[in-house]
Structure 1
Amino acid sequence: MTKVHAPARRLSRLYLHACKQKSKSRKGSAAKSAVSGLILVAKACGNDVPRLTFWLSNSVVLRAIISKSFGENQFPISVGAAVGMKDDRNWNKKSLSLQWGSVSSRGIASAIEENFSDWENPLIFSAALEKVEAWIFSRIIESIWWQTFTPHMQSGVANEICTSMSSDSIKFYGRTSSSGDQQLEKFSSELWKKAFRDAYERICPVQAGGHECGCLPVLSRLIMEQCVARLDVAMFNAILRESANEIPTDPVADPISDVEVLPIPAGKASFGAGAQLKNAIGNWSRWLTDLFGIDDDDLLQDENSSDATEDDERKCNDASMKSFRLLNALSDLMMLPKDMLLSRTVRKEV
């Protein structure tokens, strides 16, 4: 951790030294230079996710150091604020839902230049760092999505994974096998297990290699939560197509062109399909917990530790961040006993 966050410590020393000089211009210049430097190195990273994660972690730590130096009461900043959340000790999951590409990589420097003027104020320095972090965060998500997840939704990568399996696996997981839905589920499970692993290696190759890394572990989990939420939407839209031959309509919200990467056939709603989907979601959630620590049980523990006045709001926020929320709801609907639909209340809820 000492080596990973060396840039953050050096920038903080530069800024705090300028603050001791009692010169507002020097203090403002140090803050502005630090923000400009972070933007410059982040742009130089291109779509290299490990390097972007490195600088995101350093920006968060820099802001935490400045916060601690000026006192938390006067200058409240948290790690969670880097991605639009409230205090990381009391996460507001609902506010995490960033707009995709909400911060333009082309105009980040000019936007900060236009919106921030009083650089002598530490709060302005913090706000500018927060904007930079949100911009880097969105770039990481976009890179992970298009470099890792989207290719696994196309026929080419799926076929490569098929051919890379052993002969026995190909026979069992074969996409043209006559055994049907069970083979489809097994193939989809192997495909997405590989996708999650590839994303893990792309975000932090050091941790993926089994070594300890000094970067903030919470960042990789927050990045993956956003990608999983987007994958949830993509699969939900693909499963709801009327037939497997239907063409995708939206390259962002409906990008799956090969329906055989789905855990259940598209356009077929039944109790068996719902149970199959629920089983697949359970497997994916366990893999995500092992890799990133994304665990729905943590959300329930947070609820129990919160104050009674915040209980209802927290339940709403936690429910919105549950992994594969749409697919879970769809599987519950498919598994609904038909005789329950005789109840007007149940029909209204459905």
Structure 2
Amino acid sequence: MAGSMISQFTFLEVAFLHVNLAYSFLNCSRCNSVWQAEITYLGNLLHPNLVKLIGYCIEDDQRLLVYEFMPRGSLENHLFRRSLPLPWSVRMKIALGAAKGLTFLHEEAERPIICRDFKTSNILLDAEYNAKLSDFGLAKDAPDEGKTHVSTRVMGTYGYAAPEYVMTGHLSSKSDVYSFGVVLLEMLTGRRSMDKNRPNGEHNLVAWARPYLTDRRRFYHVIDPRLEGHFSIKGSQKAAELAARCLSRDPKARPQVSEVVNALKPLLNLKDMAGSSYSFQTMQAERVRPSPNANNGLWTRGSFMKNDQQHPRSLSIPNGSHVSRHQQSANNSPKPDGKP
């Protein structure tokens, strides 16, 4: 069967066939339990923000799962592997869809479920950039009523797992909320949760960003610079504050994921773009301030700087928005309404 790889999960390799179905082959030592978990959970759940399991089969040592086809691939691919950034409105649309999927698992399913491996590579996108959660190989039933957590072997992905789960093995729905906070932070910043290629002090995204998230004067510093001011001032501020709540060190202080949904809904259609704000322009000027070793004609982060002590300058258009070389190809990026 000829196909192409679209995503790779913890234990699954997922590809698409030319009949608009996605399939995964499992051939690892833990495949049977992962395969069974996928069937148990996805086979019995139906929601617009969950990937639909079409069918499955087993033959000898090969186990096959067949899913609905998700043509846009994973959120991870769009955030970190594509040259053009996702528009702000599309990021918020994806965040809301993913939160709705988690809400269904935690609060609306007949038996509440903890995802346990919520991350950008497990959020798949359809043609309209609607988010659907996938990979339930590590999912667990939520604790029985009256209990705060289930104790289990620590599994998942480093950088996304909640600290109390990593340290004690105590798993709860608030563990997923922490993971959602990490993903929301990745969408805000355009950075991976763990990145050793960053400067010292910036390897761990949560540790680096936490001091900025609730500071209304400095939160601009964490917003993805590739957006170049094309994001809502109020929306980004509210999203940063929401991420901070989800990332609280105390699980009890984290919101229910249904609260996350209600917080995200008003952010989708805000039009107060940051590019024209004085605070953002000041922050941008600080970002591109020339170093002592700057040379004549040195380009730094979209601004042309000279060593004659002049202020950094950017090309501008009448409405005050900045234009960089990166934006010259912006017509190829996803449109704000989520369409290609």
TM-score, normalised on structure 2? 0.26
TM-score, normalised on structure 1? 0.26
Q: Which has the higher strand share?
A: 2
Q: Which has the higher helix share?
A: 1
* Structure with bigger RCO (C-alpha 8 Å, 6+ apart): 1
Larger Rg: 1
